Amino acid sequence: MGYLHHYGSAKCVVNTAYFMRQALRSLSTHRIDGSFTGVTERLLHGHHAFRKRAGTEGDYLKRLALEGQKPTALFIGCSDSRVIPEWLTGSSPGELFVVRNIANHVPHADNADSSVGAAIDYAVGVLQVADIVVCGHSGCGGIRAALNGVEALPPKHDSLREWVGNIVPAIRSAVDGGHEGEALMDRSVEENVLTSLDNLTTYGAVAERIADASIGLHAWVYDLGTLALRVYDADTGHWADARTLIAPSSRLSP
Ligand SMILES: [Zn+2]
């Protein structure tokens, strides 16, 4: 990184791009001759299949491209590959503005991660989403890491250590509650979601929308094994099965 200190900013950009290209060439010459790793090839086949499927929705997707997005909700979920917001909510492209990070955490605005903060500002202040959902999930590795403590993480993973360090205070009340084992995990997942909702209210764009009662905030927890969704009821302080909150006529069989 020494070259960063020797060049002006314009040259620095040029040289950064040069070194990136050199690194890509040295690491992946097999990609330049048109062949791919198995994983990459599978992804490209997947994209081909997606295009064929999505072609049947051509008018809808073209309209989205031409008219721009008008998502109805900001969905803040975990980066975990098993938690796919559009799948578990039956949503289509254009419906959810999504932020995913480790353990679906929203830091307090005073300690904001600018990527998370920018997405909140844009979704709430510009796109004017009607609702924000923070969705945790069972068996969350980020929450487990916070329970194990930052010192248990690899020493050179500075970003991971910093991020997990943000989550530790968010689950303190669950830890202090005397729970153990999976009960402690479950309570910690819930507590992190509720703390994240509290933290959302510290962002100016969210506070404005709360003040004029034009936005709803929702805490969810998704169970990977049973596919069940628990929704927090702020009036009772309890978590309810999502199926009990929808009209009986539209409920699916368990
Ligand atoms: Zn997770």
Read off the CATH number of the domain in which 152 is found: 3.40.1050.10
* 91 within a domain of the structure (yes/no): yes
For residue 98, how far is its CA from the centre of ligand 1 (angstroms)? 15
**How far is the C-alpha of 8 from the C-alpha of 69, rounded, in Å?**
39
**Does 102 fall in a domain?**
yes
Flag whether 61 is in a domain.
no
What is the number of structural domains in the chain? 1
User: Cβ neighbours of residue 232 under 8 Å, at least 6 residues apart?
Assistant: 190, 193, 194, 218, 219, 220, 238, 239, 240
Long-range contacts of 44-48 (CB under 8 A, 24+ apart): none
What's the 22 CA to ligand 1 centre distance in angstroms? 35
Provide the pLDDT for residue 29: 46
156-160 long-range Cβ contacts below 8 angstroms, 24+ apart:
160/102
Written as tens digits, the pLDDT of the chain (254 aa) is 322 333 334 444 445 566 666 655 555 544 555 566 788 889 999 999 988 888 777 788 899 999 999 999 999 999 999 999 999 999 999 999 999 999 999 999 998 889 999 999 999 999 999 999 999 999 999 999 999 999 999 999 999 999 999 999 989 999 899 899 999 999 999 999 999 999 999 999 999 999 999 999 999 999 999 999 999 999 999 999 999 988 665 555 54
Name the maximum alpha-carbon separation found in the chain.
Answer: 69
The answer to whether residue 192 is domain-embedded is yes
Task: State the pLDDT at residue 6.
Answer: 32
Distance (Å) from CA 225 to ligand 1 centroid: 14
**Residue 88 belongs to some domain of the structure:** yes
pTM: 0.84
Cα(112) to ligand 1 centroid in Å equals: 19
Q: Is residue 49 part of a domain?
A: no
Residue 186 lies in a domain: yes
List, edge to edge, every strand of the sheet that includes 73-78: 96-101, 73-78, 131-137, 216-222, 229-233, 238-241
Q: What is the pLDDT of residue 246?
A: 83
pLDDT of residue 18: 62
pLDDT at 27: 55
How many beta carbons lie within 10 A of that of residue 40, not counting itself?
Answer: 13
Structural domain that includes position 74: 70-250
- Is residue 151 situated within a structural domain? yes
Tokens of 181: 């084992």
Q: Which two tokens stand for residue 72?
A: 């109805």
Residue whose C-alpha is closest to residue 167's, from 154, 187, 150: 150
Residues annotated as part of the active site: 78, 80, 82, 137, 140
